Structure 1
Amino acid sequence: MKIQSKITLLFLLLSGVILVLLNITIFYLVYRFGFDDFFKRLEARVNISAEVRLFPGAKSQAYQEVRNRYLEKLESEKEYFFSTDTLNKININGGINVKSSFIKNILKDSAARYKVDNIFYAGKVFTKGNSRYIVIVSAIDPSGFQELKDLQRILVYGFLAAMILVYFVGKIFSFYTFQPVRRIINNVKNITANNLHFRLDELSGKDEIAELSYTFNDMLNRLETAFETQNNFVSNASHELRTPLTIISTEAELALSKTDANPEQRQIFGTIYSESEKLGQILNSLLTLAQSGFDGKKQRWESIRMDELLMTASESIKRINTDSNIQIDLEDMPTDEHLLYVSGNSNLLRLAVTNIISNACKYSDNRMVKIRLLAENNKVIISITDQGIGIPESELQHIFEPFFRASNTHSYEGHGVGLPLTLNIIRLHRGSIGIRSDVGKGTEIKVFLPLEASA
């Protein structure tokens, strides 16, 4: 998931939590205020009822008149009037739906409130002379509950609408926030080994984006210097090192051609010649390895049909090693010829495939080497399987390191640069290599290359 999407979701989550807490707070406060207001209305009626019942006369008639004229009649409004003795014993008539615990709370605190479902009760203790009385008024508050339901509906719909709005606001916010980052990414994608002189636009300010641009440009400066150094070495080494090696090899060959040299001298000249040739091969491999890992010159890319390339590579190995036993199995080859083409440099790819097949023949003592070609998941797959000595499992991770040779290859000639060179070439073509090996049974190497249409 992209950081922009993560920020949008995080913004949505935080906003959602804040809105939920705000809605809960609003609902709770309205709930408390609404019920508290209704209880106060009941308590006002309790006081009026007490005045009317306990203090009859003109004053009580005035209270009664106020009650009838100005106080609305509550739904299912009921009054309860009880007397109590000094021991707080109350005679409650049957059929009265008032909890005894509620009455005990009234006697204990002189006043109490109580609610069950949508029925509200308010009660209070009054004293007249030496007598004590309890007055309770109950009623139903349908409008209060309806208001809470309406409020709940409004809060839920408001929350959903707010979350949709917050999502789009967060998306727009994150889009504009990461716009400089996207611009940097697009600019970096356009920088290759061919145009390392390009630099990112340095932004004004001292924020993280400006610092990132500065860091990228600094890295590009170092890369350009390193690539130029490597390119100069590859260019100069080809001439400066090959010339003296050619002279040594030629002089040794000339000395061997002389008839007046004694056997000891001929042996020395032969050693010099063979070692100079070997050194030349190592030098050529190293230079090719360096060049394959550096795209300092634009490679000549072309459309390559892999079955034809395998045939060519196999034939070239058979010409060099006539004892090689190579079988190309085309049974799994795709019938659609468009699935056989890759985009790349044919010389480099042929060199990479030749290195793998040549190693398979060498380390299997020219036993059967089987080559399969197939296409899966927009990739051309080349499978090369031998029946050779295999590679120890602990050493598999090192076989692509330059000059590394497995511990069981001492009796075979080699320099340890073939597979690193092959890996560099395959990576240059945006491919990959997989390897599976059993000691004493053989090795299978798979090369994965993207199809030309998906390259």
Structure 2
Amino acid sequence: MKIRLKLTLLFTALFSTLLLMFALTVYASFSNNREEEYYKRLKSQAVTKAELLLEAKVPPEVLQLIYKSSPNSLFEEEIAIYDENLKLLYHDSVELDKVKETPSMFQDILERSEIKFYTNNLQAVGLLHIHDGKKYIITAAAIDGYGFAILQKLKYRLIIAYIVMVGLTLILGRLFAKQSLNPVSKLVGKVAEITATSLDSRIVVGKGKDEITELGLTFNEMLDRLEKSFKAQKEFISNISHELRTPLSAIVAELELSQNKRRTVEEYRKIIGLTLSDSKKLVRLISDLLDLAKTSYDPSAISFRRVRIDEVLLDARSELIAKNKHYNVDLVFSDDFEQSEALTISGNEYLIKLAFVNIMENGCKFSPDNRSQVFIKMGQENSLILEFKDCGIGIEKEDLPRVFNFFFRGGNGKYAEGNGIGLSLTQNIVLLHKGSIDIQSKPKEGTSVNLEFDLS
């Protein structure tokens, strides 16, 4: 069911319910008012006849004739008057006797002075009348033909008015829903026109502060993110194609060169060495890409357990130096550092070690003396801070904002080999472990990479 139809039906249902409650209230109020007014008329007629009979001493036969010819008589009126001994003194029509008085009714009237009831479709009242110190019981009954006729007309008119109003509400509700959702329909149409080749298009939003404007702004923000994502994807594919093509092309060229003519053993060794070097670059690139993919997707697919940060750091140092004998990494623990079980976080040991190795390797690789230092200290609010420092060539100021971009290699890239994935991978790993990473650098002075992990 579309929202437009749903809103129309909901609006109609709410208004119809309120209208029905109003109509029932009007009908019930009119019915109660008619009933009370007719009881008053019955009581007035009964008292008047009792006064004529008891005060004016009008004979019953004459009293009957008077009221039969009176235009003020009620429809099918029947009034009876009894003395305190329950002897009938007057009756409009003894042979008919529609009320059918009983001893219990008389007793009820004597106790309550006045009762109101219905009998045989007649509206009736019973009264206790006092005259000259004597008690008289009066019963009066009649049919309010005129009142019921008016009530019936009111009922039909309310039903017709209700049906007409519900129909009008349905029409107006549909128009109102259409008008209200028209901006949404236009918005949907605009969004449907945007494809992968037109991600630079944007939805025109008004200057208001309503929900439609907020929705349009949200769509535009989403399109901004999509456009950046598509651009990043294109750049990634372009860069990875270049990074893969370079070592593969070198390997092919070297192998083709070796086939051109017979060479000495030394020349073959040299070619094999170059091919092996390019193959290792290719393996390193593929390995880094796999690790990058692992950290960029569903974190739930990565196994986490309690990991000692200081122990992982020591393992990373040992692993780096084992592969690069000429590298030196100094670990400096501050005075407030405590080697305890409290220095653990929930994480993946392999990924954390990979991040540490990347940072230490960069520090050694870009330093003239191939040396890097790691300062370990406790931070505020139960956190651990690792500061990786080197005295290398540093990073240019304009390159700092882009050091975490995939395949980015700044002006210092010519001084050492690399594929530009390491820092992107390191950032993903740190963020995956709810840590923070910050880089400060000055050209020709060195670089400082600060990591902070929450130990709570």
Which category describes the TM-score, using the shorter chain as reference length?
0.5 to 0.7
Instruction: Tell me the CA shift for residue 161 of structure 1.
Output: 1.5
RMSD: 4.1
Give the SS at the match of 1:197.
coil
Instruction: Tell me the CA shift for residue 11 of structure 1.
Output: 0.5
Residue by residue, what CA displacement relative to the aligned partner does 1:29-54 show, whole Å, maximum 9, x if unpaired?
Answer: 01111111211111110111110111
Residue by residue, what CA displacement relative to the aligned partner does 1:264-299 show, whole Å, maximum 9, x if unpaired?
Answer: 979x789959979x97xx89x99xxxxxxxxxxxxx
Return the alpha-carbon distance in structure 2 between the equivalents of residues 63 and 200 of structure 1. 91
Instruction: Tell me the CA shift for residue 64 of structure 1.
Output: 9.3
Q: Cα 1:24–1:71, aligned 2, differ >3 Å: closer, same or farther? A: same
- What TM-score, normalized by structure 2, do the two folds share? 0.53
Return the alpha-carbon distance in structure 2 between the equivalents of residues 272 and 224 of structure 1. 40
Residue 118 of structure 2: which of 115, 127, 135 is its match?
A: 115
Partner of 1:161: 164
Residue 215 of structure 1: which of 218, 227, 232 is its match?
A: 218
Aligned positions of 1:53-72 closer than 5 A: 53-57=53-57, 71-72=71-72
The answer (yes or no) to whether the contact 1:249–1:272 under 8 Å persists in 2 is no
Larger radius of gyration: 2
Name which of structure 1's ranges 238-247 and 180-189 shifts more when overlaid on structure 2: 238-247
Q: Cα 1:34–1:113, aligned 2, differ >3 Å: closer, same or farther? A: same
Partner of 1:143: 146
Partner of 2:76: 76
Instruction: Tell me the CA shift for residue 252 of structure 1.
Output: 4.1
Number of aligned residues: 281
Return the alpha-carbon distance in structure 1 between the equivalents of residues 63 and 75 of structure 2. 20
The percentage of counterpart residues that share the same residue type is 30
Instruction: Tell me the CA shift for residue 57 of structure 1.
Output: 4.8
Instruction: Tell me the CA shift for residue 121 of structure 1.
Output: 0.9
Return the alpha-carbon distance in structure 2 between the equivalents of residues 270 and 101 of structure 1. 125
Instruction: Tell me the CA shift for residue 67 of structure 1.
Output: 6.0
Partner of 1:6: 6
The answer (yes or no) to whether the contact 2:254–2:275 under 8 Å persists in 1 is no
Aligned positions of 1:280-429 closer than 5 A: none
**Structure 2 letter corresponding to 1:122:** V
Partner of 1:39: 39
The reply on whether 1:26 has 2:29 as its aligned counterpart is: no
Partner of 2:319: none
Partner of 1:195: 198
Return the alpha-carbon distance in structure 2 between the equivalents of residues 234 and 61 of structure 1. 118
Instruction: Tell me the CA shift for residue 250 of structure 1.
Output: 3.5
The reply on whether 1:105 has 2:108 as its aligned counterpart is: yes
Give the SS at the match of 2:76.
strand
Instruction: Tell me the CA shift for residue 108 of structure 1.
Output: 1.8
Return the alpha-carbon distance in structure 2 between the equivalents of residues 158 and 140 of structure 1. 28
Q: Cα 1:183–1:101, aligned 2, differ >3 Å: closer, same or farther? A: farther
Give the SS at the match of 1:76.
coil
Instruction: Tell me the CA shift for residue 129 of structure 1.
Output: 3.2
Give the SS at the match of 1:6.
helix
The answer (yes or no) to whether the contact 2:248–2:278 under 8 Å persists in 1 is no
Instruction: Tell me the CA shift for residue 249 of structure 1.
Output: 3.5
Return the alpha-carbon distance in structure 1 between the equivalents of residues 120 and 278 of structure 2. 105
**Structure 1 letter corresponding to 2:198:** N
**Structure 2 letter corresponding to 1:211:** E
The answer (yes or no) to whether the contact 2:34–2:147 under 8 Å persists in 1 is yes
**Structure 2 letter corresponding to 1:5:** L
Partner of 1:51: 51
**Structure 1 letter corresponding to 2:221:** D
Partner of 1:224: 227
Return the alpha-carbon distance in structure 2 between the equivalents of residues 101 and 33 of structure 1. 29
**Structure 1 letter corresponding to 2:15:** S
The answer (yes or no) to whether the contact 1:48–1:67 under 8 Å persists in 2 is no
Q: Cα 1:63–1:155, aligned 2, differ >3 Å: closer, same or farther? A: same
Return the alpha-carbon distance in structure 1 between the equivalents of residues 195 and 102 of structure 2. 86
Instruction: Tell me the CA shift for residue 227 of structure 1.
Output: 1.4
**Structure 2 letter corresponding to 1:232:** E
Residue by residue, what CA displacement relative to the aligned partner does 1:230-265 show, whole Å, maximum 9, x if unpaired?
Answer: 212323432343132121234246557867659x97
Note the residue ranges of structure 2 that are not aligned, 5 or more in a row.
89-93, 291-456
Return the alpha-carbon distance in structure 1 between the equivalents of residues 251 and 166 of structure 2. 81
Q: Cα 1:99–1:12, aligned 2, differ >3 Å: closer, same or farther? A: farther
Instruction: Tell me the CA shift for residue 91 of structure 1.
Output: 5.1
Aligned positions of 1:253-292 closer than 5 A: 254-255=257-258
Partner of 1:242: 245
Partner of 1:17: 17
Q: Cα 1:269–1:63, aligned 2, differ >3 Å: closer, same or farther? A: farther
Return the alpha-carbon distance in structure 1 between the equivalents of residues 150 and 104 of structure 2. 30
Return the alpha-carbon distance in structure 2 between the equivalents of residues 82 and 204 of structure 1. 85
